[in-house]
Structure 1
Amino acid sequence: MAHHARAKAHTNIALSKYWGKRDNDLILPMNGSLSLTLDAFHTTTEVRFVEERGADTVVLNDQPLDASAAAKVSRFLDRVRELKGVDWRAEVRSYNEVPTGAGLASSASAFAALAAAASQALGLKLSERELSILARKGSGSASRSIFGGFALWQAGHDDQSSYAYPLQSPLHDDIAMLVVVINAAHKPVSSREGMRRTVETSPYYPAWVDDAEQRLGEMKQAVVEGDFTRMGELAEMSAMRMHASMLAAEPPFCYWESGSLQAMQTVRELRAQGHQCYFTMDAGPNVKIITRTSELAVLKRALAATVGEQALLTARPGPGIVVENC
């Protein structure tokens, strides 16, 4: 007998960043974060549990995952199996509409979809909060991809208090994100390694954590009240301060490339001309520009001249998790 379900989850981009863990096993963050789920990038995952023991099989975009990545998926599935009290093997087939490992939040959509599909396949009736907690144990940012639009992941103090929840905002209907793909290749320093190195060696890191928690409250207020300008200012500040902590790590590392700097400068120039746009960056060279829907055409023209039109991807607020039985 097989137990089979499918789930679709979208990526999210943090406006107030999370960087660093205080518990690597449970993925409890040092600080809370706030994100926007996007409609342009998603992962669809099918999970089938077969009532027999054996090794899991994991296929991504019709190719078997390498041993290390497959083992990570199996360890996550062990958590789901434990909730159900079974030891059945799983067959996982996933399709990722996001470049993997390029700082475009592929792990967020991947583990949100995996958590939802696996729990549904085993008949677990998880609430959104419980599903957020489960997804977090695969990838911290996956806790936020359970929800559409804006979501806040509170740091909490233990496993059950660290989860995300949705935020309603007047900005939802008039916000867009222009993704500038500088390099979609797999980044040389993974997010996990980058976080570990920063937490353990950067003298600036304690200041980052203290500041991030304070600014998170300000960001939440700006989003809930619909203050686009303050939201954008805080988003840029969060990204720049996060990357500053990496530059001070030992050895230092930087995800930026020359094209990243060029895109950031273009945003600053357009803003000086009166356009409403702000940039943010995650663990990768790609730049995400937060803007109004009405500003997209101007932004695209300006950036196409420097990076090429093919490097520009447009996104709007995306939906929350969608789950179905197969």
Structure 2
Amino acid sequence: MVMMLMKTTAIANSNIALVKYWGKRNSDLILPYNSSVSMTLNNLNTKTTVEFNKTLSEYEVTINRKVVKGEELARVANHLELLQKSSPHKIFAKVMSESNFPKKAGLASSASGFAALTLTGTKALGQDFTVKDLSILARRGSGSASRSILGGFVEWTKGSMSDGSDSYALQIEKEAHWPELSMIVTIISSEEKKVSSRAGMSQTVKNSPFYSAWLDTIESDVEKMKQAISEKDFIQLGKIAELNAIKMHATMQTTTPPIIYWEAGSLSIMKEVLKLREEGIECYFTMDAGPQVKILCQQKDIETIKSRVTEINLVKDIIICHPGKEARLTEDHLF
């Protein structure tokens, strides 16, 4: 078979989990202990261009206009070699990727990054995969990337097979199902976090006394969240998402040594959300492995909440998001 090589570009949106993924049963295949549910975000995205070239002697990778080396380069290279697994000859590639939001800061940049890399990488090799297979491949780069292949509201099923063949993302509802659902993403810090999500998960599974309690309640959270999404029950969705995030951070904070992603600004926003609820404005917070707080609200309340959050001087930026599209190809190449 002759491999058809071409330059291709894909755009993938980030996703924020409403019911979190935290902990792996298999680190090599990135298989989770629990299922998770997320919302793909329309205004946080990564664009990636890939071109395989037989004249190259190494991978050339640029992320956000910076040539990457070391561990970051190795992750990209390993993923591109995974995509070439069925090929008898390895071909190096040039990769350029840009995101419109900070990376490694708790905004799921690896999700949009590896989803975009998976889609554009397979197309650059002349391969066609189903959405299920793309999700499985993306998962091998970053667990949450399995969800960014799809748009709208997504469940990543944990699966039970040892080879990971039943651990992939499924769409619960398309983005058009609930366009007025909003997420106010607050940026507290654009710096890379000191403890990566991978390291944090591993440490939590090893020694948090609360991790077993996390697993005891998580699948119930998943089912209730799916129902809330299908029924467009905002209050139920917000309550589940907020408590689920608090439970996840409780497992991190009770590891040895403790992992605390919260900053002063994070706490200020969380308290402001609670105060807004006391005043009758329905909104809820969620947080991932990083200091950024995401506020779930309805379209009608965005300006009120944004105005209040803007008054917190530790907030550096605010991005308004709604349910976003699936990963897709574009002709607008980066090189």
**8 Å contact 1:51–1:89 — kept in the other structure?**
yes
**Equivalences for 1:271-310 in 2 at 5 Å?**
271-307=277-313, 310=316
Aligned pairs (5 A) from 1:180-259? 180-259=186-265
* 2:170 maps to amino acid: Y
1:311: how far off? 2.1
Quote the offset at 1:160 in angstroms. Answer: 1.0
Q: Which has the higher helix share?
A: 1
Distance 1:51 1:322 in 2: 26
Cα displacement (A) at 1:153: 0.4
Superposed structure 1 runs of 4+ greater than 3 Å apart: 83-86, 307-310
Could you tell me how far 1:183 is from its partner in structure 2? Answer: 1.1
1:189-227 C-alpha deviation (Å, 9 max, x unpaired): 110110010001111111111211221111111111111
Q: Report the Cα offset of residue 2 of structure 1.
A: 4.5
Give unpaired runs (5+ residues) of structure 1.
none
How far residue 53 of structure 1 moved from its aligned partner, in angstroms, is 6.6
**Distance across 2 between alignment mates of 1:63 and 1:312:** 25
What amino acid sits opposite 1:95 in the alignment?
E
Q: Where does residue 160 of structure 2 map in the other structure?
A: 157
Contact 2:47 2:99 (8 Å CA) reproduced: yes
Per-residue CA distance 1:79-108 (angstroms, 9 max, x = gap): 101034431111111112120111011000
Cα-to-partner distance string for 1:265-323 (whole Å, 9 max, x where unaligned): 10011111111210000000110000001100110111111137752211111111111
Counterpart position of 1:119: 122
* TM-score of the aligned structures, taking structure 1 as reference length: 0.96
Instruction: Determine helix, strand or coil for the equivalent of 2:212.
Output: helix
Alignment of 1:25-36 (within 5 A): 25-36=28-39
One-letter amino acid matched to 1:165: L
Q: Is the 8 A contact 2:265 2:314 kept in 1?
A: no
Structure 1 residue 78: deviation in Å? 1.0
Flag structure 2 segments of 5+ consecutive residues without an equivalent. none
Counterpart-to-counterpart distance in 2, 1:114 and 1:228: 33
One-letter amino acid of the counterpart of residue 209, structure 1: L
* 2:105 paired with 1:102: yes
- Please give the alpha-carbon distance, in whole angstroms, between the structure 2 residues aligned to 1:140 and 1:253: 20
Contact 2:9–2:47 (CA<8 Å) still a contact in 1?
A: yes
Partner of 2:101, secondary structure, is: coil
* Matched residue count: 326
Q: State the AA in 2 paired with 1:210.
A: D
> Structure 2: how far apart are the matches of 1:224 and 1:85?
45
Q: Percent identity, please.
A: 42
DSSP 3-state at the match of 1:144? helix
Secondary structure of the 1:186 match is coil
Native 8 Å contact 2:265 2:315 kept in 1: no
1:67 to 2:101 alignment: no
Q: Which residue of 2 aligns with 1:41?
A: 44
Q: What letter is aligned with 1:183?
A: S
**Normalization by structure 2: what TM-score?**
0.94
Give the AA of the match of 1:64: V
